[in-house]
Structure 1
Amino acid sequence: MTSNLVELRPNRRLLDHGFEGYKLNLNSLPQHRFNLQSDVDRLYPDDIQYSFIHAKLFALHNHLVPDLWDHAFNFYYIDKNQQVRNITFENINNTIQQAIVYDVPASEERKSGNFNLCLQFPSSHLAVISDGRGYLHIVDTGTRNKPATEKSQWQTIHSTLALEGKYFVIVDTRVQDTDCKEVLHCLLQSVEQNEKHFNSVLTWITLENEGQGWKQVATRQIQGKGIVHYAAFEVGCTAIYIASDNLFKFTSDSERDIIMPSKEQPRQIIYTWLQTAEDITITLQLENKFNKNLLHVNVTPLTIKVSYAGKDFVNGKLSHKVDSELTTWNVQDNGQVDVLITKAESMLWDGLIEGGDSNGEQIMDATLVEDTHRRLAHLCSETEVTDKSIIALSTQELEECDAASEEDTVLVRLDATHHMVTHRVPLSVHQYLFTQQLEIQQAPALCLRHDVDACIWQPYPQLVNSDSWPIKHHGTLMAFGYVQSSKQNRKFITCPVNFSYAVVSEATRHIFIYKNTPNTDCQLRKRTEGTMKSVKVGQQNVINVEKNGEVLGINATNEYLFVLTQSVFLAIEVQ
């Protein structure tokens, strides 16, 4: 099975080439600051977690977890006592409620190699929690669309040592409901070291509940070198999407045997053919002392068959008609046989046999090649062009953020049934920026740089009875691709689901907010002429969060930007 190449073509209606950039707005945005009742649990990498994969998993871990199944401003984090705390923000009176909803079971003391705790909501009544020590907990949350102080306590309904003692983080979860059972898919990421480098290991575990409790029924493992930018389940859980700099492939599957694709055997050429506009010469080689009586040549206007001692050398339907009565062949003492067939019409053929023939190879006629070069000579020149009116591109005018990525990043669709890559999306010229959940039932969307802009792409399931993998352009953050690349200290990047603004958050000092709404009243003066020109510009707001401590989590909604630090919860009014 060969993979299909998918090209990302932005919707021109969602691009604005007249957008000039962002203008700094010195007006401060309203902020609401609240102290947490208990500090956020934060774990740092230890001496054995020194790879770039570890650094990314720890540094970019978002400790502020939104509940996408609840339309209210409900957020969760895990505190230093290993308790899940709920924060409900009331936007009417700008207050919050805080409450403990769950105590994570204490399996053992923390030790070297552990990860941060993870929390995800695969459905409106379930939560999946990893304790960073190797245990995975399935939790019944009950109804969550209530304020924090009115929620009931969550209950553990299943706990398992998921990866036989390996430590992991949760990448994605998805629930499938059928008439008789509930199926939970969990994608877990761990890190393994071999002799040369560190590998990212994605383990896909499947659990079922038929009314008598949860049990693990399947385990698949996908492995590759280096970091994983993006990984998510397809809606039907028949495939997985992975964006990375290196090839990832299935290494184990408890349900199906992994059949490695057989290597293609080198093509064995048993004859060659050379053509002019009038005729074709077919050449094949037999042994030195051969029996001429065993050589058979049969040419009709549309077919050809050349065989020796029962073995076919050339056999099939010709691409075009020939004059079979003019067919001749010549046999030499060294075993070389030349068959000359005359074309019915003067023309060059694309191939000898209709549909192609792997046993034959075309040899270009030297006179034909020379004639082609002669006819194209006017398009070539051996002298240097000295016309100074042509302005060449100066690489000195390029900035660092304009440089193409040196990493060969690719987004792939891995089919779980055949364990093969079905589709590939090259991302080398589309720098991966961040992930955003646009639709709760779909896979997370990807934000990719497109020239100076940033485009949000939503992958959808592969169409039934089709080789197409639809990836739709949903929105654009104007000039954000260029702007974010200049922020070398960026930690989190995000945007709301309506794409009205984008956010770049540093770890400790500033948060930059870029509002896309263009202001057409802005005017710029052209220095050479002194004339004024109206331009479209957005607004940039800068927020200093240094006094609140390091930013550990962030979430953008259409109206507010929520920020979590070690001991503070911030609600910033953006709109």
Structure 2
Amino acid sequence: MNTRLIPDLNKINPKFEGYKLSPFNKGLHRTDLIQENIYVHKDATDHRMGFRDLQARIRHSHLIYGFPLDHTRGSAFCIDQDFNLFMIVYNKITKQTKFHSITELIKPLPVPAFTEPSDIVPIDPQLPSVIALSTELVLASNGVGDIELIGLEEKDGAMLGTSLASVCYLGTGKEGITPVPCVLLTARQVKDKIIMVVFSHTATKKTEFNIATLEMNIPTPETERLSDGSFVLMLKTLHIQQGAEVPVYCAITPSGKRCILGSETKYVKEGYEEVGDENKMQVDDPYKWNQDGSDITIVFELPSETPKSSINCKFLVDHLSLLVKSGDELLVSYPYRKLWSTIRPDECLWTFESGLLTLFITKMDENTRWPQLFDHDDGVLENLSQDALSEIKSKLERLTASEGAMTSTSQPAQHPASTDMDEEIDESGQPIIFTVYDTEGTIVDEFHSGTYNWICKSYDKTKRLPSICLQMDVDGLVFSFTETVDHRIEIKHEATFDAFAFVQASKRDGRFTLHDPNLNFTSIIESSRNAYIYFHHDDKRKIEVQTLIDLTQGNDVDVIGAQLLLDDTLMVLTETQVIVIELIE
């Protein structure tokens, strides 16, 4: 794995001084949902949720991007409490917001009260979700595993819709329920097929997710029909990745040949570790580890003739990067693995003697006992005996007393930026791993953000791959992804949002942080009050303009969605209103 997110120094503005606040006094239009008898679907789950579950639901936008109908009309979608799908159309000329009832989704059936499913069966419904494929096709999920393909058409100024077909998401077949509750993450129409990515819970007690890439044919006149006229379609599972979180970035390339997942932790292919009890390989743990107070000791066994120069070990505040290569053979491969909790990089070091590579890590919180070494549990239990631990520590004392710790620089190994890193546990961003998969789930490319923490992705924009914004010092660097003719992913530093990382870190209530795909502005939308807009130009000016909009006007309502309808038209959804913001600088 490598870091391919390389900044272009010509796009950095070292002379930037700050933002000038400008009042927002025009281009704002509000429409009450109550007048339209629309009560947007909200999470009614009353069970306790883990952190990763809650994180995914907070990121979820109840306002879904719709394709522009023409150069003056933009559209979006929402689902109400009765699972009715609505299309919201805003006209820049008339300044009107209209609501069109498209169709009623398949309503979830309640779990019978007399059933007692196992506590690992993922029966809790997910949030309903929608992905617009084009101006004529929409994909929708009701949250309990039913996925519908909906056709759209405009007739006499009204938007009409009908359900063309429905399929059930079957998961891995191990969940103990059919269909499996899921959420649509992204989807793309590729010729006569639809490629989509959904997430669902695994059948385990711990919080873990299946990220499934699926394929479905678009119906044709020759496709078999049911008695009600709907088409009979099959949902094909291309591959399923398992991990401890829902990806913060998910995209399908225009060819449909590649899927990009971005997350704090890595994923493993479903079924990779367990193909069946009779075929399961029994292997020794790749390492042994133990903890004592604030100290963690990790031991890897290597061939004694392994040169120290082949050991590449770096400690970050919440990640470990360890690669050991002998000739063409990779002996140890932990290229960028998130740890279970935070550590002190400047107090960590490693030694190598008599075939034992030993890592000494210092926890940030000495009172917290780690249940596992990495954020994604790899099944390696704490098993280093106290006798072995004492022997290792005595060797370390002799080594450090005589010649210092055996690192490639004869100094404690650490990331060069670790002394400048904020070591607070609640720091705003996290490094992100981007993994590129082919249609069979094979990893064809992988790169990480390195010391650049995640800030946000761009608003959805037609069929373009979303760009990403990462923190470098106080700035936000925007990188674009493009697919080449041979399906490689090219990465380019497109622009720098001056001091955006700094202002973003100060907004503790920011729920929807997104940037304009055309690079004209960034936005931070709070969960209960304001929207902050920061404008951007490419001329490296010293002062940029910012503005803010009071969304809720002091009312006790939540902001639950945001989308960019047209290049200069932003729509925000609250529990009671649709707010259209025309971004006139």
Q: Is this a same-fold pair by TM over 0.5?
A: yes
What is the aligned partner in structure 1 of residue 432 from structure 2?
Answer: 409
**What's the offset of the Cα at 1:427?**
2.1
User: Counterpart in 1 of 2:544?
Assistant: 538
Q: Which has the higher strand share?
A: 1
Q: Is the 8 A contact 1:489 1:507 kept in 2?
A: yes
TM-superposition CA deviations, 1:125-171 (whole Å, max 9, x none): 2111001122111112235xx8xx72352111111221333211100
Residue 97 of structure 1 and its aligned partner are, at CA, apart by 2.1
2:465–2:482 Cα contact (<8 Å) kept = yes
State which drifts further: 450-459 or 482-491.
450-459
Deviations 1:182-210 (A, max 9, x none): 21112111123634x31121112211246
Q: Residue 438 of structure 1: CA displacement? A: 6.4
Moved more, 402-411 or 121-130: 402-411
- Residue correspondences, number: 431
Task: Provide the residue aligned with 1:186 in structure 2.
Answer: 196
Q: Decide which of 562, 565, 568 is 2:571's aligned counterpart.
A: 562
CA-to-aligned-CA distance 1:506-534 (integer Å, 9 cap, x gap): 111211111224999xxxxxxxxxxxxxx
Residue 15 (structure 1) aligned with residue 12 (structure 2): yes
For residues 331-346 of structure 1, the aligned pairs below 5 Å read: none
Name 1:135's counterpart in structure 2: 146
Structure 2 distance, partners of 1:409, 1:75, is 29
Q: 1:160 aligns with which of 156, 167, 171?
A: 167
Distance 1:34 1:202, change over 3 A: same
Which residue matches 2:86? 85
Q: Matched residues in 1 for 2:455 and 2:518: separation?
A: 17
Check conservation: 2:431, 2:454, Cα contact below 8 A: no
Give a deviation string over 1:484-505, Cα, whole Å, max 9, x none: 1110111011232322221111
The residue type paired with residue 550 of structure 2 is N
Secondary structure, in 3 states, of the residue corresponding to 2:237? Answer: strand
The aligned amino acid for 2:188 is: R
Instruction: Look up the equivalent residue of 1:162 and give its one-letter code.
Output: Y
Superposed counterparts of 1:34-433, under 5 Å: 34-36=31-33, 37-44=36-43, 46-68=45-67, 70-71=69-70, 72-109=73-110, 113-142=124-153, 150-163=157-170, 164-177=178-191, 182-192=192-202, 194-195=204-205, 197-208=206-217, 209=219, 211-212=222-223, 213=231, 214-252=233-271, 409-417=432-440, 419-433=441-455
1:550 positional shift: 1.4
> Residues 506 and 270 (structure 1 numbering): CA distance in 2 closer, same or farther, change over 3 Å?
closer
Contact 2:42-2:81 at 8 Å conserved across structures: no
Change (3 A) 1:223 1:573: same
Secondary structure of the 1:242 match is strand
Give the drift of 1:241: 1.0
What amino acid does structure 2 have at the position aligned with 1:515? F
Relative to structure 1, the CA distance from residue 155 to residue 25 in structure 2 (aligned partners, 3 Å threshold; closer, same or farther) is: same
SS at match of 1:542: strand
Question: 2:444, 2:100 → 1: CA distance?
Answer: 46
Consecutive unaligned residues in structure 1, runs of 5 or more: 273-354, 364-379, 383-392, 521-534
CA-to-partner distance for each residue in 1:60-95, whole Å, 9 max, x for gaps?
221112213534222221123322222222222322
Instruction: Answer yes or no: is the 8 Å Cα contact 2:199–2:246 preserved in 1.
Output: no
Opposite residue 461 of structure 1, the aligned amino acid is: E
CA-CA distance at 1:221 after TM superposition: 1.3
- Which consecutive unaligned segments of at least 5 residues does structure 2 have? 113-122, 171-177, 224-230, 287-300, 308-326, 331-353, 355-408, 412-416
Q: For 1:259 and 1:234, how far apart are their aligned partners in 2? A: 34
Distance of aligned partners of 1:98 and 1:27 in 2 relative to their CA distance in 1, 3 Å threshold: closer
> Partner letter of residue 150 of structure 2?
V
> 1:381, CA displacement in angstroms?
13
Deviation at 1:536, TM superposition (A): 1.4
CA contact (8 A) 1:166 1:190 kept: yes
Paired with 1:481 and 1:545, the residues of 2 have a C-alpha distance of 23
Distance 1:7 1:405, change over 3 A: farther
Match of 1:476 in 2: 496
Residues 406 and 498 (structure 1 numbering): CA distance in 2 closer, same or farther, change over 3 Å?
closer
Task: Name the CA shift for 1:497/1:103 in 2 (closer, same or farther; >3 Å).
Answer: same
Q: Is the 8 A contact 2:125 2:143 kept in 1?
A: yes
Cα distance in 2 between the residues matched to 1:250 and 1:356: 25
Structure having the higher Rg: 1
Aligned to 2:535: 515
Distance in 2 of aligned mates of 1:406 and 1:170: 25
Mapped to 2, the partners of 1:44 and 1:381 lie a distance apart of 55
Partner SS state of residue 166, structure 1: coil
Work out whether residues 3 and 450 of structure 2, in 8 Å CA contact, stay in contact via their aligned partners in 1: no
Which secondary structure does the structure 1 equivalent of 2:54 belong to? Answer: helix
AA in 1 matched with 2:185: V
Distance 1:224 1:553 in 2: 26
Aligned to 1:487: 507
CA contact (8 A) 1:127 1:141 kept: yes
Contact 2:428-2:505 within 8 A present in 1 as well: no
Are the counterparts in 2 of residues 45 and 58 from structure 1 also a CA contact under 8 Å?
no
Distance in 1 of aligned mates of 2:306 and 2:77: 71
Distance in 1 (CA, whole Å) between partners of 2:306 and 2:41 is 69
Asked if structure 2 preserves the Cα contact closer than 8 Å seen for 1:126 and 1:142, the reply is no
Task: Tell me: CA distance 1:47–1:12, structure 2 relative to 1, closer, same or farther (3 Å).
Answer: same
SS at match of 2:126: coil
Maintained 8 Å contact 1:455/1:477: yes
Partners of 2:88 and 2:99 within 8 A in 1: yes
What amino acid is aligned across from residue 20 of structure 1 in structure 2?
E
Q: What is the one-letter code of the residue matched to 1:170? A: L
Q: CA deviation at 1:40?
A: 3.6
Output the CA distance in 2 between the equivalents of 1:560 and 1:103: 28
Q: Please state how far the C-alpha of 1:25 moved relative to its aligned partner.
A: 2.1
Which shifted more, 161-170 or 453-462?
453-462
How far has the Cα of 1:394 moved from its partner? 13
The answer as to whether partners of 1:519 and 1:537 remain within 8 angstroms in 2 is: no
1:80/1:59 CA distance change after superposition, 3 Å? same
Distance, in Å, in 1 between the alignment partners of 2:306 and 2:546 is 69
Contact 1:406 1:428 in 2 (8 A): no
Measured at CA, do residues 405 and 572 of structure 1 come closer, stay the same or move farther in structure 2, by a change above 3 Å? closer
Q: How does 1:21-40 map to 2 (within 5 A)?
A: 21-26=18-23, 28-36=25-33, 37-40=36-39
**In structure 1, C-alpha distance between the alignment counterparts of 2:210 and 2:567, rounded to whole Å:** 35
Contact kept, 8 Å, 2:167 with 2:234, in 1: the verdict is: no
SS class of match (2:40) = coil
Q: Is the 8 A contact 1:141 1:154 kept in 2?
A: yes
- Please tell me the residue identity of whatever aligns with 1:173: A
1:517 and 1:442 map into 2 onto residues whose CA distance is 21
Determine if contact 1:559/1:573 at 8 Å carries over to the other structure: yes
CA contact (8 A) 1:171 1:188 kept: yes
Distance 2:424 2:26 in 1: 29
Contact 1:5/1:423 (8 A) holds in 2? no
Structure-1 separation of matches of 2:196 and 2:241: 13
Moved more, 212-221 or 164-173: 212-221
Shift of the 10–408 alpha-carbon distance from structure 1 to 2, 3 Å rule, reads closer
- Give the conservation status (yes or no) of the 8 Å contact 2:146–2:168: yes
